[in-house]
């Protein structure tokens, strides 16, 4: 039987790894320039941290790690697997960031801009484009209550997408408070709002009639269907606070939230262009912890989003005891890698040295050292009967020149180079 | 109770993360230049791969992942934890590399030079300098039977150590075949040799007399103590094949192995200097899979090694069915980070923009964009009563200049910069 990587998890061979690293380098450099600072958290967190109720459905997908030193009697007496596990693999980077901030806040600046990237793990059923280990790239601003957080994060996100070569992306924006105002004004009681949001979120899949039908099934009669229908078919511009407030319940609270939304949207639009931001009154985002602005990155080539995020002012308080305002966006790195048709240029002067049959390798080694020291990337290959196959492999691997390591050559200039391109 | 990272696992805050990334970048760039190519394997491997008997004692330290969807009846009927687990976190990078090569060999060059780095996990008792998640940096040459593999790997390792700023390291070298010849010639039967090697490996801890005493306790009487004592007190030079063979059993096989050892040692010494290589006839290296050359990186500041490796010609065959010659060295990244007194220079022009109290942030945002676009790393800070604390934080975080984002300034030249250094 063939030996493979674990189900739903991937190996990366050199060319693909190089492409991924190049894309991540551009994202990383862009975020650093925008003032975000790299942090790292471990892959494993205590189960109490992972299962503190902030991971939504993803919590159920977490890989749990067995306690060490368990005896057969421990297995027999355990009521369920949670008693056998004390650690788990992180399923996102937001819960670990909140835990990190709670642990280290005393040594961090009062407004902390974090760049956090790395693999996360989810025990999903593997399918095309969905993996059990995948990379996320998150930026978050912690400690900034005002919309400057939204503006800086969205500017940096747009810049990162542009620099890696993504064209035509759109930010779909909304605010959880607007949704709350809308549902309240439409006569949907607080205890039914979470269920209504789940239905609203299905607009892309089931259409306007599908959403209305499901709402009628799920909700007690008497809610304002016309108000919901107006939202489902709205084309309200993202910079019209009055129209947004009128659409989303028309309350003073809706007016205040709409005004905030338009403030940051206008500032971002001023930098990246008006067309790149779209107000989507049905955008919900699944996680329960969002408290204000929410955003999703749409791309014409993808039915699913390239990433998203929002404001989660209550989450860090769950770990720290004191609430800390927070806004962040997560880029789905795997989807970026999938849609990018070109890669950031990786420039290495890659040259190969052929060892003549029967030659003393110490001369080859001296030449290799000389080439490495003068800035080349060097691969040593043995002379073969069929050099064509050797050359083809070199071309595949990005090498541009090859020379035989003859005894008479001691420098890059003295070697006779054959062009492979 | 304080919320912390999981026991024995660490967070890295921005300054430390930056230092680690800078060191890893230098290692990575050096290895790439030497012709090693990056690969990546997942953190989790099937238990059958991890527990195929090639991880030595580290297998026992692996974190096991619970199967998904286990029912209480599964727990009750399980005889031990291995029935509840199908995946585990890798405890080294060698076993995953061998599995990777078995999976992908058809698409890889006949001689494959792999650079493989990432975290590994071991459920060890946490203590100073020993963590449950730590990074290894491995290079391996697969498919090269000759000592060119040893020469290229050791050259690249020495170059990487030098470029990150490690001074005074030494390669301690030996060959498993020499140890086998020695023990055979000393009259120690094959079935007792593994036990004898474990004792020999304790020379640093228990001294010459301690090793001899333990050998007497462990082995049947009649072995050649004088021959072992000569090895324990030897100062045989690493480039004297005749003396090495005479010391290590004085058989034709010992002579052949000594000759090979001296061939690669001489070539490496020609590049990095004779004093950097020391023949250590008591060097054993714990893993059972080594078949030839073995090496350990010693440093005067450390009681433990900075890394090590060896030839493991039989291991890949365990996965692939066909033997593939292999030689590799693993750098202990955490120990490198610990002993480096300086860091590779991270050069960013870091500047801070102060938002004047009550100012419109859109002007600040436009200035930030201008600075980012002109290559600066920018942090926005709010004006505060106590600017001294703000400045101190900026200096701590590597910022060199600060300017107030006044309405009249639109470019880097028009801002009035205050030097923080």
Is pLDDT of A345 > 80? no
Residue of B nearest to A135 (CA): B42
* Interface contact flag, B271 A123, Cβ < 8 Å: no
Q: Going edge to edge, which strands form the sheet with A377-382?
A: A377-382, A350-355, A401-404, A417-419
B324 part of a folded domain: yes
User: Has residue A329 got a pLDDT over 80?
Assistant: yes
Pick the closest to residue B294 from B269, B348, B330, B319 (CA basis): B330
pLDDT computed for residue B76 by the predictor: 80
Question: Which residues of A are less than 8 Å from B10 in CB distance?
Answer: 42
* A100 contact residues in B (CB cutoff 8 A): 5, 11
When scoring B25, B35, B372 by the number of chain A Cβ atoms within 10 A, the one with the most, hence best to mutate, is B35
- Identify all chain A residues contacting B63, using CB atoms and an 8 Å cutoff: 44, 65-66, 68, 87
CA distance, residue A46 to nearest chain B CA (Å): 5
Would you call A37 and B397 a contact, using CB atoms and an 8 Å cutoff? yes
Closest residue in chain B to residue A16, using alpha carbons only = B39
Residues of chain B found within 8 Å of residue A375, distances taken between Cβ atoms? 33
Within 8 A of A17 by CB-CB distance, chain B residues are 37-40
Measure the CA–CA gap between B43 and A170, rounded to whole angstroms: 34
- Residues of chain B positioned with their CB less than 8 A from the CB of A111: 381-382
- Residue A119: partners with Cβ closer than 8 Å, 6 or more residues away: A43, A133, A134, A135, B43
Residue among B8, B18, B44 with most chain A CBs within 10 A, to mutate: B44
From the CA of B318, how many Å to the nearest CA of chain A? 10
Q: Do the bridges between strand B170-175 and strand B112-121 make them parallel or antiparallel, or are there none, so unpaired?
A: unpaired
B319 neighbors B99 (Cβ within 8 angstroms): yes
Strand A112-121 to A133-142 pairing: antiparallel
Question: Is residue B173 classed as helix, strand or coil in its secondary structure?
Answer: strand
Portion of chain B with pLDDT greater than 70, in percent: 98
Q: How many domains does chain B have?
A: 3
Contacts of B376 in chain A (CB under 8 A): 33
When computed from its CA atoms, the radius of gyration of chain A, rounded to whole angstroms, is: 27
- Per the domain annotation, does B255 fall within a domain? yes
- Looking at residue A106, the DSSP 8-state letter turns out to be G
Confidence at residue A140, expressed as pLDDT on a 0 to 100 scale: 98
Question: Given this model, what pLDDT does residue A306 score?
Answer: 95
If you measure CA to CA, which chain B residue comes closest to A390? Answer: B109
Give the closest residue to A231 by CA, choosing from A265, A181, A272, A277: A181
Residue B293: inside a domain, yes or no?
A: no
Q: For residue B111, which residues of chain A lie inside 8 Å, CB to CB?
A: 381-382
Closest to A350 measured CA to CA, from B371, B335, B296, B37: B37
Q: How many residues does this entry show for chain B?
A: 421
Give the confidence band of A1 by pLDDT, cuts at 50, 70, 90: low
The confidence score (pLDDT) of residue B100 equals 97
Instruction: Name A127's bridge partners.
Output: A130
Distance CA A90, CA B44 (A): 13
Q: How far is CA A68 from the centre of its chain?
A: 32
Residue A416: Cβ-neighbour burial (10 angstroms; 0-12, 13-18, 19+): exposed
CA-to-CA separations, B33 to A166, A345, A404, in angstroms, rounded? 30, 17, 18
Q: Does B346 have pLDDT greater than 70?
A: no
Average pLDDT, rounded, for chain A: 92
User: What average pLDDT score do residues A69-90 get?
Assistant: 87
Q: Nearest chain B residue to A351 by CA: give it.
A: B35
Which candidate from A10, A66, A361 shows the least CB-CB separation from B84?
A: A66
Distance between B338 CA and the closest CA of chain A, angstroms: 17
User: How many inter-chain contacts (A to B, CB under 8 Å) are there?
Assistant: 259
Q: Are B174 and B294 in contact (CB under 8 A)?
A: yes
Interval A103-135: pLDDT, tens: 999 999 989 999 999 999 999 988 887 899 999
| Residue B54, min C-alpha distance to chain A (Å) | 15
Same domain, B236 and B381: no
- Kindly identify which residue of chain B lies nearest to residue A82, measuring between CA atoms: B66
Q: Is residue A397 part of a domain?
A: yes
- B298–chain A nearest CA distance, Å: 23
Considering the domain boundaries, does residue A292 fall inside one? no
pLDDT higher than threshold 80 for residue B2? no
Contacts of A217 (CB under 8 A, 6+ apart): none
Alpha carbon A279 to chain centroid, angstroms: 22
End-to-end CA distance of chain A: 39
- Measure the CA–CA gap between B113 and B189, rounded to whole angstroms: 37
User: Residues B238, B268: one domain?
Assistant: yes
pLDDT tens per residue across span B21-70? 999 999 999 999 899 999 999 999 999 999 887 777 788 899 999 998 88
B92/B153 same-domain check: yes
Instruction: Please check whether residue A391 lies inside any domain of the structure.
Output: yes
> Coil, helix or strand for B404?
strand
A245 touches A254 (CB < 8 A): yes
More confident residue, B345 or B222: B222
How buried is residue A316: exposed, middle or buried, by Cβ count under 10 Å (0-12/13-18/19+)? buried
Determine, yes or no, domain membership for B270: yes
> Over pLDDT 90: what percentage of chain A?
74
| CA A108 to each of CA A105, A111, A318, B91: distance values in angstroms, whole numbers, following the listed order | 5, 8, 19, 32
User: pTM value?
Assistant: 0.92
A31's CB contacts (< 8 A; 6+ apart) are A115, A137, A139, A156, A160
List chain A residues with CB under 8 Å of B372: 33-34, 159
Q: Do A400 and A351 meet the contact criterion of CB atoms below 8 Å apart? A: yes
Check B66 against A80: CB less than 8 A apart.
no
Question: Which residue of chain A has the CA closest to B19?
Answer: A38
Mutate one of B65, B82, B93 to test the A interface: name it (highest A CB count within 10 A): B65
> In angstroms, what CA-CA distances link A273 with A158, A238, A263, A413, B355?
10, 12, 15, 51, 24
Q: How far is A107 from chain B (nearest CA, A)?
A: 9
Q: Look up residue B23 and give its two tokens.
A: 């060191």
Q: B37 with B57, same domain?
A: yes
Contact A348 B12 (CB under 8 A): no
Query: By the 8 A CB rule, do B238 and B269 touch?
Result: yes
Domain CATH for B322: 3.30.930.10
Task: Quote the mean pLDDT of chain B.
Answer: 92
Range list of H helices, A144-282: 148-164, 176-185, 190-200, 203-218, 225-232, 241-247, 252-272
Nearest to A147 by CA among A252, A236, A274, A266: A266
Chain A positions in Cβ-Cβ contact with residue B369 (cut-off 8 Å):
155, 271
Residue of A nearest to B399 (CA): A35
Assign B64 to helix, strand or coil. strand
Q: How far apart are CA A356 and CA A364, in angstroms?
A: 9
pLDDT at A365: 87
pLDDT higher at B57 or A226 = A226
Say how far apart CA A31 and CA A159 lie, in whole Å. 9
User: Both tokens of residue B134?
Assistant: 């730590």
pLDDT digits (tens, 9 = 90+) for A347-388: 678 999 999 988 888 888 889 989 988 888 889 998 988 999
Co-location of B238 and B125 in the same domain: no
B365 and A32 within 8 Å at the Cβ level: the answer is: no
What integer pLDDT is reported at residue A359 of this predicted model? 84
Summarize pLDDT for B99-131 with one digit per residue, the tens.
Answer: 999 999 999 998 999 999 999 999 998 888 789
Cα gap A17→A77, rounded to integer Å: 45
- The answer to whether the Cβ–Cβ distance between A397 and B109 falls below 8 Å is yes
Query: Does one domain contain both B93 and B159?
Result: yes
Chain A residue with CA closest to B396: the answer is A109
Which of A46, A107, A155 faces B13 most closely, judged by CB atoms? A107
Written as six digits, the tokens of B122 are 């071991």
Nearest to A355 by CA among B146, B108, B156: B146
Residue A116: closest CA among chain B residues belongs to which residue?
A: B14
Q: For testing the chain A interface, which of B19, B27, B33 should be mutated: the one with the most A CBs within 10 Å?
A: B33
Distances (CA, A) of A175 to A95, A151, A250: 21, 14, 14
Taking alpha carbons only, the member of B299, B406, B31, B146 closest to residue A18 is: B31
* Percentage above 70 pLDDT, chain A: 98
- Residue B267 above 70 pLDDT? yes
- Please check whether residues B1 and B104 belong to one and the same domain: yes
pLDDT at A344 over 70: no
State how beta strands B350-355 and B377-382 pair.
Answer: parallel
CA distance B373 to chain A (A): 9
In this structure, are B159 and B17 located in the same domain? yes
Q: Are B104 and A348 a contacting pair at CB < 8 A? A: no
**Domain identity same for B47 and B7:** yes
Structure confidence at residue A346 (pLDDT): 63
Sequence-distant (≥ 6) Cβ neighbours of residue A383 within 8 angstroms: A354, A355, A356, A357, A404
Q: For position B349, what pLDDT does the model report?
A: 83
Buried b (16+ CB within 10 A) or exposed e, B143-174: bbeebbbbbbbbbbbbbbbeebebeebbbbbb
Q: Find the DSSP H helices in A235-383.
A: 241-247, 252-272, 315-320, 333-339, 361-373
CB atoms within 10 A of CB A185: 16
Is the pLDDT at A75 greater than 90? The verdict is: no
CB-closest option in A13, A64, A80 to B104: A13
Q: How far is A40 from chain B (nearest CA, A)?
A: 5
pLDDT tens per residue across span A256-310? 999 999 999 999 999 899 999 999 999 999 888 899 999 999 998 877 899 999 9
Grouping H, G, I as helix, E, B as strand and the rest as coil, residue A58 is: helix
Contacts of B314 (CB under 8 A, 6+ apart): B289, B291, B323
B277 exposure class (CB count in 10 Å sphere: 0-12, 13-18, 19+): buried
Pair B15, B146 in one domain = yes
B-chain residues near A18 (CB < 8 A): 37-38
* Same-domain check for residues B247 and B304: no
Q: Which one is predicted more confidently, B35 or B346?
A: B35
Beta strand A417-419 with A170-175: parallel, antiparallel or unpaired?
unpaired
Return d(Cα A394, Cα B101) in angstroms, integer: 19
The DSSP letter of residue A40 is: B
pLDDT (average), residues B86-93: 96
Per the domain annotation, does B53 fall within a domain? Answer: yes
Range of the domain at A393: 350-419
Query: What is the distance between the alpha carbons of residues A39 and A31, in angstroms, rounded to a whole number?
Result: 12
């Amino acid at each position: 039987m063939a030996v493979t990587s674990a189900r739903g998890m991937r190996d990366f061979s050199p060319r693909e790894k190089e492409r991924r690293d190049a894309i991540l380098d551009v994202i990383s450099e862009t975020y650093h320039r925008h003032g975000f600072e790299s942090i790292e958290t471990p892959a494993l967190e205590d189960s109490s941290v992972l299962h503190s109720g902030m991971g939504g459905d993803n919590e159920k997908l977490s890989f749990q790690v067995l306690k060490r030193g368990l005896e057969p009697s421990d297995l027999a007496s355990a009521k369920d697997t949670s008693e056998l596990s004390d650690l788990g693999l992180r399923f996102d980077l937001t819960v670990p960031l909140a835990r990190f901030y709670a642990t280290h806040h005393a040594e961090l600046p009062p407004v902390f801009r974090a760049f956090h990237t790395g693999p996360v793990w989810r025990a999903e059923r593997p399918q095309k484009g969905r993996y059990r280990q995948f990379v996320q790239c998150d930026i978050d601003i912690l400690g900034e209550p005002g919309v400057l957080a939204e503006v800086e994060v969205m500017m940096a996100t747009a810049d990162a997408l542009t620099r890696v070569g993504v064209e035509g992306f759109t930010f779909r924006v909304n605010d959880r408070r607007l949704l709350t105002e809308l549902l309240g004004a439409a006569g949907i009681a607080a205890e039914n709002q979470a269920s209504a949001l789940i239905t609203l979120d299905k607009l892309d899949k089931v259409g306007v009639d599908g959403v209305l039908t499901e709402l009628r099934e799920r909700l007690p009669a008497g809610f304002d269907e016309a108000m919901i229908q107006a939202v489902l078919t709205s084309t309200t511009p993202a910079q019209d606070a009055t129209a947004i407030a009128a659409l989303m319940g028309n309350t003073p609270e809706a007016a205040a939230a709409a005004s905030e939304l338009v403030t940051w949207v206008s500032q971002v639009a001023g930098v990246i262009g008006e067309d790149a931001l779209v107000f989507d009154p049905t955008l919900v985002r699944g996680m329960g912890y969002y408290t204000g602005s929410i955003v999703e990155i749409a791309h014409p080539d993808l039915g699913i989003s390239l990433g998203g995020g929002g404001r989660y002012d209550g989450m860090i308080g769950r770990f720290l005891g004191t609430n800390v305002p927070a806004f962040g966006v997560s880029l789905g790195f795997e989807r970026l890698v999938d849609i990018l048709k070109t890669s950031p240029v990786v420039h290495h002067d890659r040259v190969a040295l052929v060892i003549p049959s029967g030659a003393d390798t110490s001369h080859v080694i001296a030449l290799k050292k000389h080439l490495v020291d003068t800035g080349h990337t060097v691969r040593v290959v043995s002379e073969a009967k069929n050099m064509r196959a050797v050359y083809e492999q070199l071309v595949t691997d990005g090498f541009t020149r090859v020379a035989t390591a003859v005894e008479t050559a001691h420098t890059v200039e003295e070697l006779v180079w054959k062009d492979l391109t």
